[in-house]
Chains A and B, each alone.
Chain A
């Protein structure tokens, strides 16, 4: 099957930097697949997501290729991929009504009138389970909680029915309960809308729950990629093993002895 997204020997150096932030990355993403990209801060996982989404700052030096084989052309933001970021605040324009922000992408890419696009936006808000979606269309971002803002950002990201949804630490700023809800929402949407998912996270446990495959990033390199259960059960790279060893799981024994002295 033709891959949706393909990186070959992709290297990226930020402007005014001497060390590359991504080094010789090669990977393929099949349509319908859920890929988690994991790593610690500075590993390059967000840089990778931004490079795929054509968000490199001006003056970035690149070599190698990022291609979209099944499209046969370069990808367009909105209709080919949508992106959700970590901070629910910065995902949305604070002075634009929710309805406008969600409708904008649909209007732009699906060639709809504002009225039609607004109907699409209402539909999307229902899909991401925003309470009182009609009222929400006319509300502003600050009127919603962090979790709800993230739902709205997801609605805007998928408004033009992209093939790929890129979630860059999209649940990391949320508390555990809301994180679990948003992860469930993303899973459902990816299945029902037949999207491909690139899920960037520092949480290897979350990655193992959600993804078909896991890619492990370390200091700009892709050190290991494989089926999620294999990465967890039989990591080949020492860094992957290190991540698993230092992961604190609810099933681990306590590190303190008994009660207080």
Chain B
């Protein structure tokens, strides 16, 4: 089966405090349809740089990205803008990602309007359906983004991403800031959306417990390189790299008894 996205030898260097930093160092991986690949690693390991390079929010120094059969890095101008909707991103803090003073309706309808995905007469109906997809009541669409709760906001961010009918959603620490009970629900929702809409996810996270819950495969990053990549269960049960071992050891575990 051809993968949805194929990344080959990606590299990115930048200067920080007068020093050269190799933010991405020869990074290669593939991501299949309906697959979730987790990117894990400590701060500064390159996982955010990688997700920003893939979504073309930053340029790279070298390497190739093939997305849906196309040379993704070669796309420019109007064609890039047109195709960008197939690759969406959901960030950690929806209050920063969405205009806080916009209504829920306008936050979700923006991509529909910009990409001309539905005639104006159908907008409210489309938004209502999208809210339903993320399990929010449709009367919420007239509220301002800053008025609704953090969990509702993250669902709105998901609905806005879904409005584009994407094939890939990059989830950049998308559940990290949520309360535990909300986090669990949003994870279930994302798994359900993946199944029903045939989505692929690139899931950037530093929380291995969440990664285990929803990612099929996991790539472990350290200093700009992927140091380990495999089925999530294998990476967690039999970590090979020192970084994977360290990340697993650092996950807080429920201590049920002091004297095991």
Q: Do A and B come from one complex?
A: yes
What is the chain A residue whose CB lies nearest that of B210? A248
Q: How far is the CB of B54 from chain A (nearest CB, A)?
A: 18
The answer to whether B212 touches A202 (Cβ under 8 A) is no
Of A52-60, A118-126, A249-257, the segment with at least 4 beta carbons within 8 Å of chain B is A249-257
The answer to whether B150 touches A41 (Cβ under 8 A) is yes
Q: How far is the CB of A208 from chain B (nearest CB, A)?
A: 4
The digit string for B169-209, where 1 denotes a CB below 8 A from any CB of A, is 00000000001110110011001000000000000001111
Given known A247-B180, A250-B212, A255-B188, contact A260–B35 (CB-CB < 8 A): yes
Query: At the interface, yes or no: A130 with Cβ under 8 Å from chain B?
Result: no
Number of interface residues of A (CB under 8 A): 39
Of B63-71, B76-84, B242-250, the segment with at least 4 beta carbons within 8 Å of chain A is B242-250
Q: How far is the CB of A77 from chain B (nearest CB, A)?
A: 29
Selected from B34, B209, B215, B216, the residue in CB contact (under 8 A) with A250 is B209
Query: At the interface, yes or no: B256 with Cβ under 8 Å from chain A?
Result: yes
Q: How far is the CB of B205 from chain A (nearest CB, A)?
A: 10
The answer to whether B181 touches A250 (Cβ under 8 A) is no
- Tell me which residues from 158 to 202 in chain A have a Cβ below 8 Å from any Cβ of chain B: 174-180, 202
User: When chains A and B are docked, how far (Å) is the Cα of A258 from the Cα of B255?
Assistant: 28
Q: Which among B212, B236, B247, B254 has the highest number of chain A CB atoms within 10 Å?
A: B254
User: When chains A and B are docked, how far (Å) is the Cα of A259 from the Cα of B36?
Assistant: 9
The answer to whether A177 touches B250 (Cβ under 8 A) is yes
The answer to whether B179 touches A40 (Cβ under 8 A) is yes
Query: At the interface, yes or no: A243 with Cβ under 8 Å from chain B?
Result: yes
Of A9-17, A94-102, A227-235, the segment with at least 4 beta carbons within 8 Å of chain B is A227-235
The digit string for A123-136, where 1 denotes a CB below 8 A from any CB of B, is 00000000000000
The answer to whether A204 touches B253 (Cβ under 8 A) is no
What is the chain A residue whose CB lies nearest that of B151? A41
The answer to whether A261 touches B210 (Cβ under 8 A) is no
The answer to whether A252 touches B42 (Cβ under 8 A) is no
Q: How far is the CB of B30 from chain A (nearest CB, A)?
A: 11
The answer to whether A176 touches B180 (Cβ under 8 A) is no
Query: At the interface, yes or no: A74 with Cβ under 8 Å from chain B?
Result: no
Number of interface residues of B (CB under 8 A): 45
The answer to whether B213 touches A252 (Cβ under 8 A) is yes
- Tell me which residues from 34 to 66 in chain B have a Cβ below 8 Å from any Cβ of chain A: 34-36, 42-44
Selected from B150, B180, B248, B255, the residue in CB contact (under 8 A) with A248 is B180
Q: How far is the CB of B179 from chain A (nearest CB, A)?
A: 4
What is the chain A residue whose CB lies nearest that of B215? A256
Query: At the interface, yes or no: A65 with Cβ under 8 Å from chain B?
Result: no
Q: Which among A204, A228, A246 has the highest number of chain B CB atoms within 10 Å?
A: A246
Q: How far is the CB of B174 from chain A (nearest CB, A)?
A: 14
The answer to whether A246 touches B250 (Cβ under 8 A) is no
Total contacts A-B at CB 8 Å? 119
Query: At the interface, yes or no: A75 with Cβ under 8 Å from chain B?
Result: no
Residues of chain A contacted by B34 (CB below 8 angstroms):
260-261
Query: At the interface, yes or no: B2 with Cβ under 8 Å from chain A?
Result: no
Residues of chain B contacted by A178 (CB below 8 angstroms):
42-43
Selected from A205, A242, A250, the residue in CB contact (under 8 A) with B236 is A250
Q: How far is the CB of B186 from chain A (nearest CB, A)?
A: 11
The answer to whether B255 touches A232 (Cβ under 8 A) is yes
Query: At the interface, yes or no: B26 with Cβ under 8 Å from chain A?
Result: no
The answer to whether B43 touches A179 (Cβ under 8 A) is no
Query: At the interface, yes or no: A203 with Cβ under 8 Å from chain B?
Result: yes
Query: At the interface, yes or no: B231 with Cβ under 8 Å from chain A?
Result: yes
The answer to whether A202 touches B180 (Cβ under 8 A) is yes
Residues of chain A contacted by B228 (CB below 8 angstroms):
none
User: When chains A and B are docked, how far (Å) is the Cα of A180 from the Cα of B174?
Assistant: 22
Residues of chain A contacted by B249 (CB below 8 angstroms):
180
The answer to whether A250 touches B253 (Cβ under 8 A) is yes
Residues of chain B contacted by A209 (CB below 8 angstroms):
252-253, 255
Residues of chain B contacted by A246 (CB below 8 angstroms):
180-181, 183-184
Selected from A40, A208, A252, A255, the residue in CB contact (under 8 A) with B255 is A208
User: When chains A and B are docked, how far (Å) is the Cα of A247 from the Cα of B183?
Assistant: 9
Q: How far is the CB of A36 from chain B (nearest CB, A)?
A: 11
| Residues on B facing A (Cβ under 8 Å) | 32-36, 42-44, 150, 179-181, 183-184, 187-188, 191, 206-210, 212-217, 231-233, 236, 246-258
14 new A-B pairs (CB below 8 Å) besides A205-B252, A249-B254?
A180-B252, A202-B180, A204-B180, A205-B253, A205-B255, A208-B255, A233-B256, A243-B181, A246-B180, A249-B209, A250-B209, A250-B253, A251-B253, A256-B191
